[in-house]
Amino acid sequence: MDYSELEQKLGYTFKNKDLLTLSLTHTTYVFEQKGEHYQSNQRLEYVGDAVADLVIGRKLYELKPEADEGYLSKIRSIIVCEESFAKVARRLGLGELLLMGKGEEMTGGRDKDSTLADAFEAITAAVYFDSDFETVREVVLRNLEDIIELAVDGKIFLDYKSRLLEIAQTKNHQHKITFTITDERGPQHEREFDVEVYADDTFLAKATGRSKKDAEQKGAKAAIEVYERIFAI
């Protein structure tokens, strides 16, 4: 597979292309090929998450010299999260490049936030192993630059659920917000939950997440936009 376009977008050219291929190998593809779990990108995800944590933590430490630990942790959690990583992964076109099992692909696996976020974490680790910390630091910051800026400027909410509940209890609007889990599936280590969000009896949005909390946060984010449109805040 030709990865030149991806490498150009990413801002890094791999010396070891096998590392890049491994970072784009989903567990379902390995399973279909009768391989072992370590031949997928899961181990790289583990390292990539830690690398991103450190890179973003250091960047925020430098950007906000007077900020306390609580603020830094909150902003980092907004940046180093599934939603942010999935956004970057889509910009890089990772979904189209993933080696994935046919069943997963047929159910929309190439555009799942969780899968895309995992792929970005894996590529982050692959860059780190293929180069050094300073290089991967530059790559991570370049690809997350806009998200870092929005988070620091307070333009990205962390707790969408609380925000939705707050909006629904303003002076002119007194709606009861409910989150209903409609389905859960998958093995214990890859569980997925579906949630629907309502304002009284009015359906607002639905979402899928890796945990009930994750699904509710995603559902709340989508619901805020719909709520403000329906009830004309």
Annotation says 134 is catalytic: no
Of 108, 134, 152, which marks where a domain is finished? 152
Percent of the chain whose predicted confidence (pLDDT) is above 70: 97
Residues 148, 164: one domain?
no
**Mean pLDDT score, 81-110:** 93
pLDDT digits (tens, 9 = 90+) for 5-31: 999 999 999 999 999 999 999 999 999
Q: Which of 99, 130, 152 lies at the terminal end of a domain, its last residue?
A: 152
Catalytic-labelled residue, pool 45, 49, 82, 118: 49
Structure tokens at 84: 């942010």
**Whether residues 108 and 72 fall in one domain:** yes
User: Can you give 66-95 as a three-state secondary structure string?
Assistant: CCCHHHHHHHHHHHCCHHHHHHHHHHHCHH
At which of 118, 152, 186 does a domain end?
A: 152
131 and 180 housed in the same domain: no
Domain that holds residue 168: 160-230
pLDDT value at position 44?
Answer: 97
Active site residue 49: yes
For the cut 90, the answer to whether the pLDDT of residue 34 exceeds it is no
pTM check: above 0.85: no
- Tens-digit pLDDT profile for residues 206-227: 999 888 888 998 999 899 989 9
Please write the tens of the pLDDT for every residue from 103-124. Answer: 999 989 899 988 999 999 999 9
State the burial class of residue 227 (Cβ atoms within 10 Å of its Cβ: 0-12, 13-18, 19+).
buried
**CATH assignment at residue 204:** 3.30.160.20
Q: Which of 104, 113, 118, 121 is catalytic?
A: 121
